[in-house]
């Protein structure tokens, strides 16, 4: 939607991944390639189960442990970001270093949307400074009801 270089971005991530694999002596296999490509095409906040379904539609023989292992690998090398919201499942999104964001989670319909607020990030750094704390990452999630669910509730 507001992607400046859609292909350049994925190309960069592919580079990251192969550099990491080369450094670690890891191998490029058919299932890793399928999983990674499908992941790149997936909407944000996909679960392992959802991704497995998509991957199996391309190759039914892929085991679910392989999807877990591959996404862990992608997370390790910075190609994927792991997210855990309140519902017990881990979700993944394609990394985008210069465009990190936080989340609004609708407790009615489960829709997850994103927001960015530089002023919050700045204040958060300020808080950390007061505590002598060096922030590596953060999680900021707002749980509540989205506009659509509020409208639906009002309508009845």
**Interaction site with a copy of itself (CB under 8 A):** 84, 86, 104, 106-107, 113, 115, 117, 119-120, 123-124, 127-128, 130-147, 150
Q: Which of residues 22-61 bind DNA (CB under 7 A)?
A: 25-32, 47-49, 61
**Toward DNA, which CB reaches closer, 90 or 124?**
90
Q: How far is CA 23 from CA 17, 19, 34, 74, 76, in A?
A: 10, 6, 21, 14, 13
Would you call 56 helix, strand, or coil by DSSP? helix
Does 89 help bind DNA (rule: CB under 7 A)? Answer: yes
**Toward a copy of itself, which CB reaches closer, 43 or 132?**
132
Per partner kind, with CB cut-offs from 5 to 8 A, the member of DNA, a copy of itself, none near residue 19 is: none
Tokens representing 76 are 């390790």
**Toward a copy of itself, which CB reaches closer, 24 or 101?**
101
Q: What is the DSSP letter of 98?
A: G
CB of 78 closer than 8 Å to CB of 95: yes
């Amino acid at each position: 939607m507001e992607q400046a270089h859609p292909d350049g971005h994925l190309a960069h991530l592919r580079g990251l991944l192969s550099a990491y694999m080369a450094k670690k002596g890891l191998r490029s296999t058919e299932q890793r390639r399928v999983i990674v490509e499908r992941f790149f095409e997936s909407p944000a906040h996909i679960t392992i189960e959802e991704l497995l379904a998509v991957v199996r539609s391309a190759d039914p023989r892929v085991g679910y442990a392989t999807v877990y292992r591959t996404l862990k690998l992608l997370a390790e090398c910075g190609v994927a970001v792991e997210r855990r919201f309140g519902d017990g499942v881990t979700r993944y999104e394609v990394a985008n270093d210069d465009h990190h964001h936080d989340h609004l989670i609708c407790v009615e319909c489960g829709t997850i949307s994103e927001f960015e607020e530089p002023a919050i990030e700045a204040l958060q750094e300020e808080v950390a400074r007061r505590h002598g704390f060096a922030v590596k990452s953060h999680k900021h999630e707002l749980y509540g009801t989205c506009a659509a669910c509020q409208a639906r509730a009002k309508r009845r």
